[in-house]
Structure 1
Amino acid sequence: MRILQKPRHQFIFFLLLFFIINFLQIIFSEVIEDEAYYWVWSQDLAFGYFDHPPLVALWIRISSLFFDGEMGVRFFSTLSFTLMLIVIWKMIDLKNKNNYIWLFFVLIISMAMLNIYGFITTPDTPLLLFTAIFLYFYQRFLKEESWLYTFGLGFAMAGMLYSKYHGILVIFFTVLSNFKLLKNKRFWIASGFGFLLFFPHLYWQYINDYPSFRYHLIERGAKKYKFEYTLMHFVNQIAIVGITFPLIYYAFFKEQAKNNFEKALKYIVYGFFIIFFFSSFKSNPQAQWTVVILIPLILFSFRFFVNHPQLRKKLVYIAMIQLAILLVARVFFASEKLSPVVLEPHLAKTWVYKLEKKTDHKPLVFLNYAYRSASVYYFYTGIRTHVYSILQGRKSQYDIDDSEAFMQHKDVYAVSDIVKGPFLVMKGDKKLRGTPINNFTTFQKVKCILPGKEMILTPGKEVKLSFEIFNTYQKDITFENVEILGVFQKKKKVLKEISLKFNDLKVMKAKEKKILKTSFTAPDIEYDKETTFRISLRFYNLGDGFQGNKIKVKVIN
């Protein structure tokens, strides 16, 4: 093993070892439902998607150039993870670092959640790579403001933003740590270059009526505060590191920032922690939201453990235990036979092919929160799916893609755990039921726009209603299989549905707008400050859709 005595060969050896382990993982592991959802995106590349920016779809499309199936979803993620490790190693600025190559990879093992992105493809996968690239170019930029580092910095900014909107926080906390950047012309050039690269996504948002921004900032809404949300935020910061967390965080807090680059690293860690701490007051935090802090933790921890041999021994001991846990978890993830519980990747086999047979291989229209189910079904069967979004659930990419158009005039099955119809299959603990629909015809993208910001009413009294209906399609539509409803809600809960009648509404020409007027008796329900009203369309009695904007309800007795 004389060849491994050279530092360069040692690094390549460990890098290849990680690559091979991750490559084996993608060979033997089924996709998770989120990955299947992003795979659907990759079938139609665009500059944006409903939930996230587009880079995750590009990652999958590149993978599919080399392989099919699960490997065609994940291969490029394994490559990008390997590249990320190289970039992080390049950022370590210690003269004797080549003596501790093994320690670097021990630290990678010590970051439990980081290892997941060696074989899983989600928006965090490219985000981690471009965060590392951004920090690399920022470190170089602080030493030498060359054009290479200037444009490299801008490229990395765009890469982070194209990966996930969280990337803006990395940029923000970097600037916050060094206000002199705001007086630096080269930094403004880098930012301008990044903006130009990112502009196609902003334009995509504009021409599609800002679906991502509307969802994340408005439609998603705040949840009622629960203490466990805040508690979970703290638990997540432990979970992303794993059982090595006491030593890793101790190392981070003990190591002082020696320059502006390291100051930025500190700000990123503290900034992400604080931002998502406050976020926990209105939503249930997820561990991956702060996963980028693992890169600064690695950089500070490496220097600390190089200089503290006693604690380094403890780290190695605990990291080896964590390695054993990770390897067992990987085996369970890959093999349903060895796993003591049914994990998400194993679940698809229990229902997808049974459902395909029960529905006579017809295209499926899923309801409610089923965009993941629809995606994994499409991935494994090759049969197109669509999601009929209803108010009790949420919108998804299926609300803006061409899946509805594909289903028109086809014989389909409507499938959900809430749809009325015969039992089909079990999906986990949910009973999926279905009903066949012949000549399926919908126009879910029609818009029903209520004027103003509130509706004033008195329970039991007549309410005069006027709103604009807009046929967004390039074709005429007929109102045969649809019911127009006025819906009172409290957040996602439907309080009351009012059937609205329009005798003169039979056909709307392509791109036509009409003002519809009617009246109804205000229902006697429990109104409060969270009560809202909207117009909704219901097709085939499947559920109330998102066609209308929400306005507040003000009650006058």
Structure 2
Amino acid sequence: MRASVKKIYASFGPDALVAFWLGVWWICNLFQAGFTELANDEAYYHMFAENISWGYFDHPPMTALLVWLGEHLFGGEFGVRFFFTLLQPLYLFVFWRIIRPSDADRRDAGLFVMLSAATLMLQLYGFIAVPDGPLMMTAALFLLTFKWFTEGRRAAWLWMGVAMALMAYSKYHGALVVLFALAATPPRVFLRPTLYLSGAVALLLLVPHFVWQYEHDWASLAYHLAGRNSVFRPGYVAEYLLNLLVVFNPFFVPLYVRSWIAVKPQNAVERSLKFIPAAFIVFFLLSTLRGYVQPQWVIVAVFGLLYTLFTYARRHPRTRRYLMRMGWVTLALIALTRLVMIFNPLGIRYEVFDNRTSYGEIAEIADGRPVVFRHGYAVAAKYAFYTGGEAYC
């Protein structure tokens, strides 16, 4: 039996090997999704899902739809997160197909999976129910269709328009992906009428969302452009840069910089992939002037960073060996962190721990009466999720 399994594994080509290890990662995320309590924002999006609509105050509807679908298949935390776990192996395999070299081998497949798995941001956002998962999935589809479009494939413009609309329905940051991708393309692309037809398709599919915004006084636009502004604090800049160092893996960051400088793109989509990380990082660095920037807002930059580091490392054996070794070290630390998130042996007080107990105590005191929380709408949503009680902020 063991020899048979080894023989089957040895027969895998690079695509099958990537799919296999992404499947293993997905199974790990399924367990994590079912045995880790909700973060505050997840409970907030669960509240969205109780009232399906074409839009919400601060986010488009894709996240709510995925939570709603998952809850109709399963219950509890697992139901909230199920479809978000499914998205990650899909978008990473799509991305692998975008950057896959024509002469790729099994070692390249292993390198790609290791670089992806050792990216801390991808580990966390592989199972929690937040808009970043749908954004990554739809951004990967956009990059794929954009590649088809630049290669002149038939009907690529149509599918690219669909992908752009899906990005907008996932998270408004999708507009930046389109703008930065187009900014890095040769000017001749803008002479193709099908590019504008693609935009027309996206706008047509977004009409229901625009109608919702109109009926609600463009609430999301007002919130994101002005409503969340605050005073500038130097700490916002320092914290933003420190967060980038952590979420992209501090063991890899120097090589990200080195590979970004060294790699020379060979086609339009590769030029876009190289430009997107720099554009996203600088854009949100400037955004620290108007308030706190959450580290996951730059998550799409992962695609460009993976492309440059993978392309560089496969040509430099010494770099490849370092990345694989430090990747295993990172995975060991991640495994410990995942176990802590499930069992909390250290008794850490954080939003993914002891929710049933703590909110249950509040519900017992409330004795069926509504509860008002002073700090955080997401906390009120979490109280409702774990107790079924009525809560406000």
TM beyond 0.5: yes
The TM-score normalised by the length of structure 2 is: 0.93
| Residue in structure 1 matched with residue 246 of structure 2 by the alignment | 239
Residues 146-178 of structure 1 show CA distances to partners (whole Å, capped at 9, x for unaligned) of 11x212111111111111111111111112112
> Does residue 1:173 correspond to 2:156, yes or no?
no
Distance 1:368 1:220 in 2: 19
Matched, 1:377 2:388: no
Q: Whose RCO is larger (CA < 8 A, sep 6+)? A: 2
Counterpart residue identity of residue 227, structure 2: E
Letter in 1 for 2:24: L
Look up the match of 2:3: none
| Gapped regions of structure 2 (runs ≥ 5) | 1-5
CA contact (8 A) 1:37 1:372 kept: yes
More strand by share: 1
Partner of 1:2: 7
SS of 1:165's equivalent in the other structure is: coil
Q: Match of 2:92?
A: 85
Distance 1:219 1:300 in 2: 36
Map 1:450-465; keep pairs closer than 5 Å. none
> What does residue 299 of structure 1 align with?
307
- Provide the rounded CA distance (Å) in 2 between the counterparts of 1:347 and 1:160: 34
- Report the equivalent of 2:285: 277
What is the letter of the counterpart of residue 129 of structure 2?
Answer: T
- Which position in structure 2 is the counterpart of 1:220? 228
CA RMSD of aligned residues (A): 1.5
CA contact (8 A) 2:62 2:170 kept: yes
Please say if residues 149 and 157 of structure 2, whose CA atoms lie closer than 8 Å, have aligned partners that are also in contact.
Answer: yes
Alignment of 1:76-115 (within 5 A): 76-99=83-106, 100-115=108-123
After TM superposition, give the deviation of residue 219 of structure 1 in Å: 2.5
> Is 2:147 the counterpart of 1:150?
no
What code does the residue aligned with 2:47 have?
V
What is the aligned partner in structure 1 of residue 335 from structure 2? 327
CA contact (8 A) 1:252 1:301 kept: yes
8 A contact 1:155–1:194 mirrored in 2: yes
Contact 1:3/1:9, CA 8 A, preserved across alignment: no
Task: Point out the structure with the larger helix share.
Answer: 2
**One of 343, 357, 360 as aligned partner of 1:353:** 360
- For 1:143 and 1:341, locate their aligned partners in 2 and report how far apart those are by CA, in whole Å: 52
- Counterpart AA for 1:15: L
Q: 1:350 Cα deviation (Å)? A: 4.2
Larger Rg: 1
In the comparison of the two structures, how many residue pairs are matched? 383
Aligned-residue offset at 1:192: 0.7
Deviation for aligned residue 1:121: 1.0
1:23 Cα deviation from its structure 2 partner: 0.7
Distance in structure 2 (CA, Å) of the matches to 1:230 and 1:157: 30
Structure 1: distance between partners of 2:7 and 2:197: 48
Q: Does 1:12 align with 2:26?
A: no
Q: Which amino acid counterpart does residue 288 of structure 1 have in structure 2?
A: Q
- Structure 1: where are the runs of 5+ without partners? 388-557
Contact 1:47 1:204 (8 Å CA) reproduced: yes
Which amino acid is the alignment partner of residue 122 of structure 2?
L
Q: Deviations over 1:35-78 (max 9, x none)?
A: 00000100111010011111110111121122100011100001
Aligned-residue offset at 1:335: 1.5
CA–CA distance in 1 between the matches of 2:337 and 2:366?
A: 35
Match of 2:392? Answer: 386
Q: Secondary structure at the match of 1:122?
A: coil
Deviation at 1:367, TM superposition (A): 4.6
- 1:35 and 2:47 equivalent? no
